[in-house]
Amino acid sequence: MLTDPWDSMKHADLVLVLVDVSDHWTRNSLSKEVLKCLSQFPHIPSVLVLNKVDILKKKFLLLEIATDLTEGIVNGKKLEVKSALQQDSSSSAKSPLHVSQASPRESKVPGSPFGQEKNQAQEGSGLDKSSDAGGAGTEEAQEPKHHGHKDLKDTKGWPHFQEIFMLAALHGEEVDTLKRYLLMQAKPGPWEFHSDVLTNQSPQEICDNIIREKVLEYLPLEVPYGVTQVTDIWKEGECGELLIVQSLLVPRESHKRMLIGRGGRVISRIAQEASQDLMNAFLCEVRLKLKVEVKG
């Protein structure tokens, strides 16, 4: 899990950095791992996505957050937000937030049906691309140098984001705008697998992932991350059904009680739902038994 983001960056065409603006502990700075990742692959275009903006009561804080996370630079332009903060104080706190910057270079996918919706997508993103007198002023920024790993100690943001999107994913606000942008940025390429190939995972990997999904869904906090899965039995029954017995190993007795649940309700629900998902995946009858044990 810790290496997947780094591995995926090697093949990425675009990077989305997602920030929860409702978390006042983390919203004003990017994590060091994210900054290291961005610094190691500065040639890959990146965009900043601010989520849960509906929860933020003081909308003017979005300006502060955006400035901190971008070091005041978006798409090579320096953001000037002072005039935006001088809006009429009587305006609604729920009014849309706009930060002006110079228009980025036009980016379209050839033949894209959304080519004519570029301006609409940009306006809904939370950044007003026009440089009208009533908005916040912009000025050319010097080409910022890329941060080395040693320079990240006091760094909070990334000055190479091409766009900022502000949305409320739970309610679907501005999600379509982000989708349209991603479609316009998509690059054509060959299929990695033939159309007849359903997956490159082994049946055992599919089984492990389905069970782990249920464990993650029904266990709180850090508990599911300490669960180790061990397949004890994997065989075909007399009637063609698949028989699977898997042990779920946990580090503490308290975690065992949580995984089993009162009257065995939690583990029974996990086994039942995982069995159904396995039957849907393998198109055969599946009998799944889960055992919970404390690691020795």
| Position 111 pLDDT exceeds 70 | no
pTM: 0.56
Q: Map tokens 């980016």 to a residue.
A: 107
Which of residues 179 and 98 earns the better pLDDT score? 179
Checking if the pLDDT of 78 tops 90, the result is: no
| DSSP string across 230-258 | EEEEEEE-TTSPEEEEEEEEESSHHHHHH
Sketch out the chain's domains with CATH numbers: 4-185 (no CATH), 203-294 (3.30.300.20)
DSSP string of 119-132, one letter each residue: HHHHHHTTEE----
State yes or no: pLDDT of 21 exceeds 80.
yes
In the structure, what pLDDT confidence band is assigned to residue 197 with cuts at 50, 70 and 90? confident
Residue with structure tokens 């990146």? 46
Contact in structure between 37 and 5 (CB atoms under 8 Å): yes
Give the relative orientation of helices 203-218 and 265-282 as an angle to the nearest 10 degrees: 150
Model confidence band, residue 129 (pLDDT cutoffs 50, 70, 90): very low
pLDDT tens across 136-193, in order?
444 444 444 555 555 677 899 999 999 999 999 999 999 999 999 999 999 998 888 8
Question: In terms of Cα–Cα distance, which of 265, 254, 248, 264 is closest to 221?
Answer: 254
H or E element: which one contains 291? Answer: strand 286-294
Q: Please, which pLDDT band fits residue 219 given cuts at 50, 70 and 90?
A: very high
Give the H or E element holding residue 74.
Answer: strand 73-74
Measured CA to CA in angstroms, residue 123 lies from 51, 58, 161, 163, 231 at distances of: 17, 21, 17, 11, 52
Token pair recorded at residue 118: 């570029």
Bridge partners, residue 79, by sequence:
138
